[in-house]
């Protein structure tokens, strides 16, 4: 019989009486606790749903609503009994059985109530579409159904009468808040007490004596010791990066197979693997690794079969027989280490008590939220000592305690009886995890954590995806006492799980928003263990009983048929189905209770019409399939909250009238922009009043497609691109979108291209009316036809604005004022044909508005000007009437100027900009001089700055002066020449410090010159698309290039005929520790 999933906060163990046998208690702790977790939260959800159905104006009959109110009374009685029942389940088997049976009934009641909600939504859609004008009868909503449910639940109340349960009211609102800054808690790579380990491993890997073809170093230790974190430090060490040509990381885990690991290597090298067969994978690995010295990390290896390891090793030896390659293996198993090692294993030891306290202290007292009093320090040191030297446990416990400010809470934690179950070494991290859960997490949070076991190990969990799954499962029902939306609750839960280290490896986007994370493998094991009676990750093994499975992840290789039957009653309770490479076809309709359906795999070519029977469905996610159109029946899924179509490039058609999905909150069709131009699918989007995510909106001429459809979408947030703004009549119509009221952080405003030249009259007024919310972080404007930008574009109100792109605004005659924006990081302006001057207005207003300003463009890192064909002058900021000295572009690192043929001089502020690292200048024939930069220049100018380390000349159409290289720079280290005039080619020999030389499209070159041997510092030589090149320098010349490591020859067909089958004869210095990549077209 199924058991429970998570644990009631601070209740179970403290209530267990003193005489309870430790063996029984430990068994209970390590078993799953589904009942208590599900029922605490599910009963609250049932109450909320019944209350909503009974009180809303939904057209239900009076007798039906009376029965709902009677049911509500029974549910409240169960709610009040539930807390005491859950306290006693560990010591009273009768109560435990009662909870299990109640759990099954609760899920069935949830399904029935959901059917009532579906009927209510159906009626709203019919009235909305004017297909009915009065209340009609409901097939599901029969008073006798509610009466039967009440009678069944009354029996549960009566059955428990003899148990002596007390009625208690428990506050379901979490007692934690995240007003604190959690950023300091997100650094999972911070390591304490491992400096010696890092140094020892790095020195071993780069040692000159390490000259086997493949050397294997196992790092061994128990779970939670930080093997992966330590290995990341080694992997990112500068000495390692310098020593190895290729670094690759593969998370291996339980399944050890050659193809999977080879795919992991290529994925780590950011290769596109879509649709590749094994032979193609093997060939790509040869291409990437042949003759290169690589370091491969195999993380969390569990395979103890020597034959599997021998198969992988043989494959790697066939790919690359060069000496000096290394593999680092992390594992919990000494047997794995013994099978794989060539170096003696590195045994990772536990941390000292002081190191554990250091981790605990730093994370607990983060941001100085409360002071470290002596009494708290004494308790904290004792808690840290109980972490048993395991850094993961110290981080988790510290993350929990940073929310606890009272001494009594710390003492309660310290005195918890679960500590008595730990052995002398405190090795059971599962018990420590359970204590953290009991102390801190509410039932909803525990369910959320347990649910995440459905995602595979090492899976990068997108924040939005996780929250949408939780929401579909009903874990995020709003609290009565708050006005929070489900997504806000989910965001809070996600951040709490990050702060407490149950989630880790948080990744942010360019705007500072957390977008994804991973679960520590230990956390994943724990989540799966506490939910395994309800969650199944199936990979082909035989199983007997699926009757209790609620959440299923199932995958296949796409070629073989899964050895599992999805027919019959096996999966009737299933609520979440995540499938990879399995085409269910009409079998999907068997999963009638589904809330979540995610289908992926190129073998899926159709979504059946029978999907309409999944009336409980909240989330539909279609990923990397070959589906060409979605069935019309989708618009009958009235409960649907999230619809995602991702990486399905073949999809051509959507169902009509998506506005029927009145509960839809999130739409994401990836980059399939052509779908948004479907005239029938996106009509009347304003009816979707719950909508929060709408990445694209295309304005149309006709009613139902006007921009006013955005107005009613008051919860719209995130990012949106609005296209075809040419169809917006005036400022008032633009204001009807109410963008100023919507928390959109990334906004794209696009007119239309091509368009009539006399059709720009309204653009300025329309853009004025599209003023966005003050929390905007990114703004892109394209094909705008106004002569100037509205005042709001540069308002200091937009202090969060990070990125601005103003592209192809052909009629603009002046650039906007942007210098005072404090957070502006990236600025790109291009295609503004009528701008002749960038004047002082670019930096600030001359009216003294910002007279206290001391810095202009204070945060700008990247500035790009492109296709400014009329731009003649770029003035400095000196003309501004600002008191005192002003600093301009203090942080600028990357400056790009392309196709500005009339621009002669840059402002003085750029010449004195000491932060500039990269400059790209192309097709700017009149530009006289450039600021000095250390990195790379693409140029077509008359004078070069001195002290360059890298320069790149592209295109013989650039106006490169004949003296610009001749009086060259002894410091130049990188040079790239493409289609360069012949008179410049011989000047390469003067760059005696060159380390990297790239020559491309030298059409007249027949032979590489003998002076190439004078470039004694040369390490990398690239020869690309030199169609007439026949001869290399003599072998004697090439021997002088003693530091040469890499030669790449590509697209030189005549030279290919001169290369011997043993290319090292031509490049003798490549034999020892260097690389030759030879490719010919």
The secondary structure of 603-625 as a DSSP string is T-----GGGGG-TT--EEEEES-
If you count DSSP H runs as helices and E runs as strands, how many of each does the chain have, helices first?
28, 35
Model pLDDT, residue 994: 85
Cα–Cα distance, 936 to 918 (Å, whole number):
6
Q: Which residues pair with 668 in a beta bridge?
A: 644
H-state helical runs in 188-301: 195-205, 227-235, 238-243, 258-268, 278-289
CATH class of segment(s) 951-1078: alpha beta
Q: Which ranges in the chain are annotated with CATH 3.80.10.10?
A: 534-692, 951-1078
| Backbone φ, ψ for residue 981 (5° rounding) | -55, 145
Cα–Cα distance, 692 to 713 (Å, whole number):
7
Whether the CB-CB separation of 228 and 249 falls below 8 Å is answered with no
**pLDDT below 50 — which residues of the chain?**
1-37, 135, 137-138, 171-178, 426, 883, 935-936, 956-968, 1061, 1072-1073, 1080-1081
Model pLDDT, residue 187: 67
Give the contacts of 601 (CB within 8 A, at least 6 positions apart): 558, 579, 580, 581, 582, 583, 624, 625
Q: What is the CA radius of gyration of the chain?
A: 33
Neighbouring CB atoms inside 10 A of 228's CB total 21
Taking the domain 194-347, which CATH number applies? Answer: 3.40.50.300
Give the closest residue to 1039 by CA, choosing from 1066, 1074, 1009. 1066
Report the Cα–Cα distance between both ends of the chain, in Å, rounded. Answer: 66
Cα–Cα distance, 837 to 903 (Å, whole number):
9
Determine the 3-state secondary structure of 475 from DSSP: coil
Positive or negative: CA dihedral 96, 101, 103, 104: positive
pLDDT tens digits along 110-156: 999 898 888 888 888 888 777 655 545 445 557 788 888 999 999 98
Give the closest residue to 623 by CA, choosing from 303, 274, 362. 274
DSSP letter, residue 1040: T
Cα–Cα distance, 105 to 99 (Å, whole number):
10
Give domain 534-692's CATH architecture. Answer: Alpha-Beta Horseshoe (3.80)
Whether the CB-CB separation of 586 and 610 falls below 8 Å is answered with yes
Is the N-terminal amide bond of 754 cis, ω within 30° of 0?
Answer: yes
Secondary structure percentages of the chain, helix, strand, coil, to 5? 35, 15, 50
pLDDT tens digits along 316-350: 998 888 888 999 999 999 999 999 988 899 999 99
Cα–Cα distance, 68 to 52 (Å, whole number):
10
Cα–Cα distance, 105 to 600 (Å, whole number):
33
User: Mind spelling out the 3-state secondary structure of 523-563?
Assistant: HHHHHHHHHCCCEEEECCCCCCCCCCCCEEEEECCCCCCCC
pTM for the full predicted model: 0.84
Cα–Cα distance, 366 to 395 (Å, whole number):
12
Tokens coding 512: 């500072």
Determine the 3-state secondary structure of 933 from DSSP: coil
Q: What does each C-alpha distance from 1065 to 291, 385, 514, 1040, 1060 come to in angstroms? A: 16, 63, 53, 14, 8
| Backbone φ, ψ for residue 885 (5° rounding) | -75, 150
Q: Which residues pair with 666 in a beta bridge?
A: 642, 693
Q: Which ranges in the chain are annotated with CATH 3.40.50.300?
A: 194-347
Model pLDDT, residue 200: 95
Query: What is the distance of C-alpha 908 from the center of its chain?
Result: 41
């Amino acid at each position: 019989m199924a058991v429970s999933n998570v644990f009631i906060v601070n209740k179970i163990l403290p209530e267990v009486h003193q005489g309870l046998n430790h063996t029984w208690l430990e068994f209970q702790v390590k078993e799953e606790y589904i009942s208590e977790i599900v029922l605490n939260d599910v009963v609250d959800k049932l109450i909320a749903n019944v209350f909503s159905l009974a009180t809303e104006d939904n057209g239900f009959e009076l007798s039906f609503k009376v029965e709902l109110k009677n049911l509500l009374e029974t549910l409240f009685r169960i709610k009040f009994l539930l807390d005491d029942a859950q306290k006693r389940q560990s010591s009273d088997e009768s109560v435990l059985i009662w909870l299990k049976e109640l759990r099954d009934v609760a899920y069935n009641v949830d399904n029935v109530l959901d059917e009532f909600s579906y009927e209510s939504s159906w009626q709203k859609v019919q009235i909305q579409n004017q297909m009915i004008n009065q209340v009609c009868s409901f097939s599901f909503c029969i008073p006798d159904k509610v009466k039967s449910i009440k009678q069944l639940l009354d029996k549960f109340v009566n059955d428990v009468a003899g148990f002596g349960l007390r009625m208690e009211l428990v506050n379901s609102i979490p007692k934690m808040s995240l007003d604190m800054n959690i950023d300091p808690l997100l650094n999972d790579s911070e390591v304490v007490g491992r400096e010696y380990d890092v140094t020892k491993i790095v020195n071993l890997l780069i040692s000159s004596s390490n000259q086997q073809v493949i050397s294997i170093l196992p790092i061994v230790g128990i779970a939670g010791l930080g093997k992966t974190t330590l290995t990341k430090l080694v992997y990112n060490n500068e000495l390692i990066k310098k020593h190895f040509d290729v670094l690759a990381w593969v998370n291996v885990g339980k399944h050890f197979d050659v193809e999977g690991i080879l795919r992991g290597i290529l994925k780590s090298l950011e290769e596109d693997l879509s649709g590749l067969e094994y032979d193609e994978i093997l060939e790509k690995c040869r291409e990437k690794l042949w003759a290169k010295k690589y370091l491969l990390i195999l993380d969390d290896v569990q395979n103890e079969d020597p034959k599997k390891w021998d198969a992988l090793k043989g494959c790697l030896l066939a790919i690359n027989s060069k000496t000096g390659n290394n593999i680092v293996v992390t594992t919990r198993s000494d047997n794995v280490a013994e099978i794989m090692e060539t170096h003696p294993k590195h045994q990772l030891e536990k941390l000292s008590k002081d190191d554990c306290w250091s981790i605990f202290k730093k994370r607990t007292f983060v941001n100085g939220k409360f002071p470290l009093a002596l009494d708290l320090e004494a308790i904290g040191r004792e808690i840290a000592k109980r972490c048993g030297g395991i850094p993961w446990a110290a981080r988790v416990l510290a993350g929990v305690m940073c929310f606890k400010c009272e001494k009594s809470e710390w003492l309660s934690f310290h005195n918890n009886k679960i500590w008595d179950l730990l052995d002398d070494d405190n090795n059971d991290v599962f018990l420590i995890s359970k204590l953290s859960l009991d102390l801190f997490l509410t039932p909803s949070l525990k369910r959320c954590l347990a649910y995440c076991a459905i995602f595979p190990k090492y899976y990068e969990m997108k924040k939005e995806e996780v929250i949408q799954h939780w929401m579909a499962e009903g874990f995020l029902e709003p609290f009565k006492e708050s006005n929070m939306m489900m997504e806000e609750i989910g965001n809070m839960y996600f951040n709490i799980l990050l702060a407490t280290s149950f989630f880790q490896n948080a990744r942010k986007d360019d705007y500072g928003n957390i977008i994804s994370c991973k679960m520590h493998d230990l956390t994943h094991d724990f989540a799966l263990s506490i939910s395994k009676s309800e969650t199944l990750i199936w990979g082909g093994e035989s199983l007997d009983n699926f009757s209790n499975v609620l959440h299923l992840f199932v995958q296949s290789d796409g070629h073989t048929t899964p050895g599992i039957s999805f027919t019959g009653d096996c999966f009737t309770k299933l609520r979440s189905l995540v499938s990879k490479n399995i085409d269910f076809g009409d079998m999907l309709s068997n999963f009638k209770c589904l809330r979540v359906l995610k289908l992926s795999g190129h073998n899926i070519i159709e979504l059946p019409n029978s999907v309409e029977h999944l009336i409980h469905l909240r989330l539909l996610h279609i990923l990397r399939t070959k589906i060409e159109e979605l069935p019309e029946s989708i618009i009958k899924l009235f409960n649907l909250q999230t619809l995602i179509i991702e990486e399905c490039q073949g999809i051509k058609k959507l169902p009509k009238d998506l506005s029927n999905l009145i509960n839809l909150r999130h739409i994401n069709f990836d980059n399939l922009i052509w779908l948004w131009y479907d005239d029938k699918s996106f009509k009347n989007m304003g009816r979707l009043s719950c909508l929060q995510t709408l990445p694209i909106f295309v304005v149309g001429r006709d009613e139902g497609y006007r921009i006013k459809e955005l107005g009613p979408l008051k919860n719209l947030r995130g990012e949106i691109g609005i296209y075809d703004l040419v169809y917006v009549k005036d400022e008032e119509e633009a204001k009807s979108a109410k963008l100023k009221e919507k928390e959109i952080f990334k906004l794209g405003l696009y007119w239309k291209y091509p368009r009539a030249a006399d059709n720009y009259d309204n653009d300025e007024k329309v853009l004025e009316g599209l003023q966005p919310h003050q929390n905007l972080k990114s703004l892109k404007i394209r094909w705008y036809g106004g002569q100037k930008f509205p005042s709001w574009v540069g308002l200091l109100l937009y202090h969060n604005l990070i990125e601005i792109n103003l592209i192809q605004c052909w009629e603009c005659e002046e650039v906007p004022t942007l210098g005072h924006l404090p957070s502006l990081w990236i600025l790109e302006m291009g295609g503004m044909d009528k701008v002749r001057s960038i004047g002082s207005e670019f930096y600030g207003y001359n009216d003294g508005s910002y007279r206290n300003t001391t810095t202009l463009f204070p945060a700008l890192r990247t500035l790009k000007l492109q296709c400014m064909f009329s731009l003649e002058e770029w003035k400095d900021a000196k003309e501004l009437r600002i008191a005192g000295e002003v600093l301009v572009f203090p942080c600028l690192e990357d400056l790009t100027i392309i196709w500005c043929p009339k621009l002669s001089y840059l402002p003085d502020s750029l010449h004195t900009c000491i932060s500039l690292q990269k400059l790209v200048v192309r097709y700017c024939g009149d530009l006289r001089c450039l600021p000095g930069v250390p990195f790379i220049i693409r140029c077509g100018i008359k004078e070069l700055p001195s002290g360059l380390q890298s320069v790149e000349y592209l295109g013989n159409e650039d106006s490169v002066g004949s003296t610009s290289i001749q009086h060259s720079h002894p410091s130049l280290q990188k040079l790239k020449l493409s289609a360069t005039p012949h008179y410049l080619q011989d000047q390469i020999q003067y760059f005696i410090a060159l380390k990297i030389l790239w020559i491309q499209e030298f059409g007249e070159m027949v032979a590489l010159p003998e002076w190439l041997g004078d470039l004694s510092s040369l390490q990398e030589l690239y020869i690309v698309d030199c169609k007439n090149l026949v001869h290399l320098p003599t072998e004697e010349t090439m021997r002088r290039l003693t530091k040469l490591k890499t030669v790449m020859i590509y697209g030189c067909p005549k030279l290919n005929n001169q290369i011997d089958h043993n290319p090292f004869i031509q490049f003798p210095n490549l034999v020892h520790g260097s690389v030759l990549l030879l490719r010919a077209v």
